[in-house]
A = this chain, B = another copy of it.
Amino acid sequence: MPQNTYRAINFAEKLGQIHEHWQPRVMAELNDYQIKIVRIEGDFIWHDHPETDEAFLVIEGSLRIDFRDGSVIVGPGEMFVVPKGKEHKPFAEKEVSMLLIEPRGTLNTGHEGGARTAQNDVWV
């Protein structure tokens, strides 16, 4: 059988194609989940995801996720899972690049809508 060369997904290469903040891009699917990559900087809006947990894995920078009752700092080589239904607001004083893992169809603003809602299901 001829040998195929499969290619890994390289985060730095994908980030090189992303020039906007707060616009998650899909890199891969895992069953009905998507693994997204995003650059963020500054403040976001309060929102939650009533149907799903959401995983944040930081590649570069220092992510702060604010909750109504506290906060968490997530740095490179670290992750945090925000439980379903828990209100949160990501914040990055300087630019952060990170992965998001969540079910296909999850919007970045949950059900809040508005100007900060990114187009969903855009691949990089």
Contact = CB atoms under 8 A, between A and B. Distances in A.
A73 B4 CA distance: 12
A3 interface: yes
Identical chains bound together, number: 2
B80 A9 contact: yes
Interface in A14-72: 27-31, 33, 35, 52-55, 57, 59, 65, 67-72
Contact of A72 (B2, B7, B31, B53): B7
The size bracket of the interface on A is 35 or more
Contacts of A110: none
Given A5-B71, A6-B65, A30-B55, 4 more contacts: A11-B77, A12-B77, A28-B55, A28-B79
A111 interface: no
Contact of A78 (B11, B35, B73): B11
B77 A53 contact: no
A30 B3 contact: no
A101 interface: yes
Contact of A4 (B3, B33, B54, B70): B70
